Amino acid sequence: MVRTWLYATPNDGVARKTLGHLSFMISSVLLGWRACGQADVVVVSSPTFFSIGAAWLLARLKRARLVVEVRDLWPAIFVELGVLTNRRLIGLLERLELAAYAAADAVVVVSGGFRANLIGRGVPPGKVHTIRNGVTLGDFDPDGAASPAVRARLGARPGDCLVLYLGTHGISQALPDVADAVARLAGQPIHFAFVGEGADKPRLRSRVDELGLANVSLHPGVPHSDVPALLAAADICLATLRCVPLFVSFIPSKIFEYLGAGRAVVGAVAGEAAQILREAGATVVPPEDSAALAAAIRELAADPARRLAMGRQGRAHVERSFDRVALAREYRKILEMAGGRR
């Protein structure tokens, strides 16, 4: 592994984030191209456009093939969320996006919806491959006992049903609406713990304070090595997205670890993510529907046997379909195919 310098900045503020991405583009080419040696294939994960530019330059320098991995639809996501409104800027970014796909020898996407989006915009179908996210099953013991100390650290009292949201607190996750659902469950032995960082965390904190929610605790982000213990401590895990048409093709990667840990899951999602959760036996409610979310949590909190059954069904589902080792083998075939074209 070769690491290069960059300007590290919190996920807050367009100017500073842009500088951070730009610094990586420059350092990865200037400092990385010699250090990483020869290559048959250069793989880049997008967003951002800057990283794609760096990968394209590295591929040219090494006379290697380029594989672009698409984990978010930029700039479409920011257009739908209202972050980008300048039509000229949007048009420029969309042209850059399509130019990146045209320059790639293969494009790997994480959902069928992403693949359909790219094909519908002119990317050749034979170039676009779907490899969904998954879970490293060995990281999680679905039958392991929850640590009382971890539960207490997350704010749960003895006898509480602990509901956990673990992951990015961004504008895409609609977490202030989760706070509205929490308010509907006041006075019940249910505690909500939010673990993570993101640009929308201050808004969530303000909403929690505004509603006077005593059954909520907000916690900072944690290293990935701490995730298994946190999930083992939870009774119910939450996955949420905004009610935005584009998000029917988005699949929050956290759901695979929730299921791999054998937890009961409630998803306020639509589209492909909802389909995966239903197939795994999880509960699905409409996005940004605080009443439906509260009702689903209330029902599960009162039924430990159902939570246990849901957890087992979810674990079995990811073992069959979302084992990261099996998915990596499929990804390797794509890389070997791309490299063989050299």
Specify which residues 107 forms β-bridges with: 68, 128
Domain boundaries, the chain: 14-134+324-340, 137-321
Contact 224, 196 (CB under 8 A): no
pLDDT at 220 over 80: yes
Query: Tell me, what's the pLDDT at 11?
Result: 63
Which pLDDT tens digit goes with each residue over 251-263? 999 999 999 999 9
Of the pLDDT bands very low, low, confident and very high (cuts 50, 70, 90), residue 12 is low
What average pLDDT does the segment 114-121 reach? 95
Tokens coding 94: 């969309």
The pLDDT of residue 89: 84
Same fold, 14-134+324-340 and 137-321: yes
pLDDT in tens, 139-173: 999 998 899 999 999 999 999 999 999 999 999 99
Average per-residue pLDDT for the chain: 93
pLDDT in tens, 281-297: 999 999 999 999 999 99
Asked if the model's pLDDT at residue 82 lies above 90, the reply is no
- Tokens of residue 285, six digits: 């409610």
Give Cα 258 to chain centroid, integer Å: 12
Q: Compute the distance between CA of residue 265 and CA of residue 11 in angstroms, rounded to an integer.
A: 27
What is the crossing angle of helices 14-30 and 49-62, to 10°?
Answer: 10
Q: Which residues pair with 65 in a beta bridge?
A: 41
Q: Please give the class, per CATH, of domain 14-134+324-340.
A: alpha beta
Instruction: Name the pTM for this structure.
Output: 0.91
Exposed e or buried b per residue across 111-141, where buried means at least 16 C-beta atoms within 10 angstroms of its C-beta: bebbbebbeeeebeeebbbebbbbbebeebe
pLDDT for res 72: 87
In this prediction, residue 272 has a pLDDT band, given cuts at 50, 70 and 90, of very high
Quick one: fold of 137-321?
Rossmann fold (3.40.50)
CB 100 within 8 A of CB 47: no
The candidate with the shortest Cα–Cα distance to 236, out of 317, 156, 290, is 156
Nearest by Cα to 261 from 311, 220, 324, 203: 311
* Residue 279 neighbours by CB distance under 10 Å: 13
- Write down the pLDDT at residue 96: 87
Confidence of residue 75 (pLDDT cuts 50, 70, 90): confident
Give pLDDT, residue 7.
Answer: 85
pLDDT of 93 > 60? The answer is yes
State the Rg of the chain over Cα: 21
pLDDT at 145: 87
pLDDT at residue 2, rounded to an integer:
86
pLDDT of 339:
78
